[in-house]
Amino acid sequence: MSTKSQIRREQLRDKLVEAAESRIGRDGLSDLRARDLAKDAGCALGAIYNVFDDLNAIVMAVNGRTFRRLGQAVGTSFDGSEPPVQRLIVMSTAYLRFADGNTNLWRALFDLKMADDEAVPDWYRDALKGLFSYIAEPVGQLFPDLDRVELDLMTRALFSSVHGIVTLGLENRISGVPPEQIEKMITQVLSRIGNS
């Protein structure tokens, strides 16, 4: 049974994560400040550190929620009856649409700076593995002769390719690719995989 103190602590934790998610979504990760979160959550600045070790821990909690939403967007984008290349294209389109519709939260997944000796939490790795598992299935169908290590490498390579196209595409001024062409670029790249 939870004590009143534990309940208040959990409620504050939820308020802080929601406030951080809202601020990151609106203003981006670089503008996130503990003082602003304390104000949003209606608590003292020091109370934050009774619930979280630091600001990164709050961002990790937000990123966990974002990863779940991203996984759901990608995981529900296909029905499994598609040929492997088409499924990769459909999932990549869902990834692009999620990134475009939630740009600041999506960027926070990859922009969070962690100390070299700081361990990445298991749940974070599991969320990424879940995303990769969607990709690995059609890749395995396309390349049935790959062993597990090679399949993992190919899966990560394809994710990195699509992620790079999406990242540069959303930074139109850098890539020079109009947003409406990003989906076409992804389709062109992935369509070649089935012909290799």
Distance of CA 163 to the CA centre of its chain: 10
State residue 138 phi and psi, 5-degree precision: -70, -30
The band of 123, judged by pLDDT with boundaries at 50, 70 and 90, is: confident
Lowest mean pLDDT, pick from 73-87, 113-127, 143-157? 113-127
**pLDDT tens, residue by residue, 53-94:** 999 999 999 998 999 899 999 999 999 899 999 999 999 999
State how far the Cα of 65 lies from the Cα of 24, in Å rounded to an integer. 13
The amino acid at 4: K
Q: Read off the DSSP letter of residue 73.
A: H
